[in-house]
Amino acid sequence: MDQTLKPASASAIRLEDVHVTLPSRAGPVAILRGLDMNVAAGESIAVVGRSGSGKSTLFMVIAGLERSTQGRVTVLGADFSILNEDDLARLRAANIGIVFQSFHLVPTMTAIENVALPLEFLDRDDAFDAARVALAEVGLSHRETHFPGQLSGGEQQRVAMARALAPKPSLILADEPTGNLDETTGADVMDLLFTLKERTGATLMLITHDRALAERCDRIVSLADGRVTGAAAKRRAAAS
**Residue 210 contacts other proteins per CB under 8 A:** no
Evaluate whether 161 touches 175 at the Cβ level (below 8 Å).
no
How far apart, in whole angstroms, are the C-alpha atoms of residue 118 and residue 163?
7
Q: Which is nearer to other proteins, 20 or 48 (CB)?
A: 20
Among 38, 50, 87, 136, binds other proteins (CB under 8 A): 87
Rg from Cα positions in the chain: 17
DSSP per residue, 118-153: HHHHTT-TTHHHHHHHHHHHTT-GGGTT--GGGS-H
Beta bridge partners of 231: 221
**Residue 113 contacts other proteins per CB under 8 A:** yes
- Neighbouring residues of 93: CB distance < 8 A, sequence distance ≥ 6: 118, 121, 122, 167
- Residue 218 is inside which H or E element, if any? none
> What is the 8-class DSSP label of residue 5?
G
**Residue 98 contacts other proteins per CB under 8 A:** yes
**Residue 27 contacts other proteins per CB under 8 A:** no
Q: Which is nearer to other proteins, 85 or 183 (CB)?
A: 85
**Residue 77 contacts other proteins per CB under 8 A:** yes
Shortest distance (Å) from residue 227 CB to other proteins: 19
**Residue 206 contacts other proteins per CB under 8 A:** no
Among 30, 40, 41, 60, binds other proteins (CB under 8 A): 60
Tell me which residues touch other proteins (CB under 8 A).
2, 4-5, 7, 9, 22-25, 29, 56, 59-60, 63, 65-66, 76-79, 82-83, 85-87, 89-94, 98, 100, 102, 104-109, 113, 117-118, 120-123, 163, 175
